[in-house]
A and B are shown apart, each in its own frame.
Chain A
Amino acid sequence: MMDATHMRTAPGAADKKATKMFVEGATKYYQTRTGSVHALDNVSLEVRDGEFLCILGPSGCGKSTLLWSMGGLHDLSGGEIRLGHEKISKPHPEIAMIFQDANLLPWRNLAANIALPFELKRKKVDQERVDTLLRRVNLKGFETKFPRELSGGMQQRASIVRSLSVNPSLLLMDEPFGALDAFTRDEMNLLIQEIWMETGKTIVFVTHSISEAIFLADRVVVMSARPGRIASIFDIDIPRPRPVDIQTRPDFIERVLHIKASIDHGRSPNEGLAIT
Chain B
Amino acid sequence: MDKALGNKIPEFNKKKSEGGGVGLSGTSLGLGDHRTKFETLIIILVAVVIIGGAEFLLKWFGVPQYVLPTPSQIVTALFTEWKFIWPHLLTTLYELLVGFAIGASIGFVLAAVITQFPFVEKIVTPYILLLVTTPMLALVPLLILKLGFGSEPRIIAVALASGPMVMINSATGFRRVDLAKIALARSFGASTFQIFTKIRIPMAMPMIIVGLMVGSIFGLLTTVGAEMVGGAEGLGNRLTYYSALIRMPQFFAVILILAIIGISIYVLFFWIGKKWASWEA
Contact = CB atoms under 8 A, between A and B. Distances in A.
Interface stretch (A3-11, A70-78, A193-201, A238-246): A70-78
Interface in A81-112: 90-91, 93, 95-97, 99-101, 103, 105-108
A71 B10 contact: no
B183 A73 contact: yes
Interface string B9-24: 1110100000000000
A31 B9 CA distance: 9
11 contacts: A30-B9, A71-B187, A73-B183, A74-B5, A75-B7, A91-B189, A97-B184, A99-B184, A105-B181, A108-B202, A116-B184
Contacts of A103: 180-181, 184
B81 interface: no
Interface string B169-206: 00000000000110111111110001000110011010
A64 B202 contact: no
Contacts of A30: 7-9
Top 6 A-B pairs ranked by shortest CB distance? A117-B188, A97-B187, A107-B279, A106-B279, A64-B10, A120-B190
Contacts of B5: 73-74
A65 B202 contact: no
A106 B183 contact: no
Contacts of B186: 73, 91
Contact of A121 (B10, B188, B205): B188
Contacts of A147: 279
A96 B188 contact: yes
B130 interface: no
Given A91-B188, A105-B202, A120-B194, A99 B183 contact: yes
Contacts of B190: 120
Contacts of A119: 198
A252 interface: no
Contacts of B10: 64-65, 68, 74, 174
Nearest to A65: B10
A101 B12 CA distance: 11
A210 interface: no
Interface in A30-78: 30-32, 37, 39, 64-65, 68, 71-75
B280 interface: yes
From B1, B9, B185, name the one whose CB has the most chain A CB atoms within 10 angstroms: B9
Contact of B7 (A31, A72, A117, A174): A31
A79 B242 CA distance: 80
A90 B7 CA distance: 13
B255 to A, nearest CB: 39
B181 A96 contact: no
Nearest to B281: A148
Contacts of B2: 73
A68 B199 contact: no
Contacts, number: 81
A68 B42 CA distance: 58
A96 B187 CA distance: 7
B280 to A, nearest CB: 7
A142 interface: no
Contacts of B199: 105
Contacts of A32: 9
A37 B188 contact: no
A234 interface: no
Interface in B140-166: none
Contacts of A90: 1
Contacts of B203: 107
B232 to A, nearest CB: 47
A74 B7 contact: yes
Nearest to A92: B189
A68 B185 CA distance: 13
Contacts of B183: 68, 73, 97, 99
A96 B188 CA distance: 7
Nearest to B280: A106
A121 B189 contact: yes
A120 B195 CA distance: 9
Contact of B1 (A37, A75, A100): A75
Contacts of B13: 100
B189 A120 contact: yes
A106 B202 CA distance: 9
B180 A166 contact: no
A97 B8 CA distance: 17
Nearest to A121: B189
B203 to A, nearest CB: 8
Contact of B185 (A37, A116, A148): A116
Interface in B244-281: 276-277, 279-280
Interface in A106-153: 106-108, 116-117, 119-121, 146-148
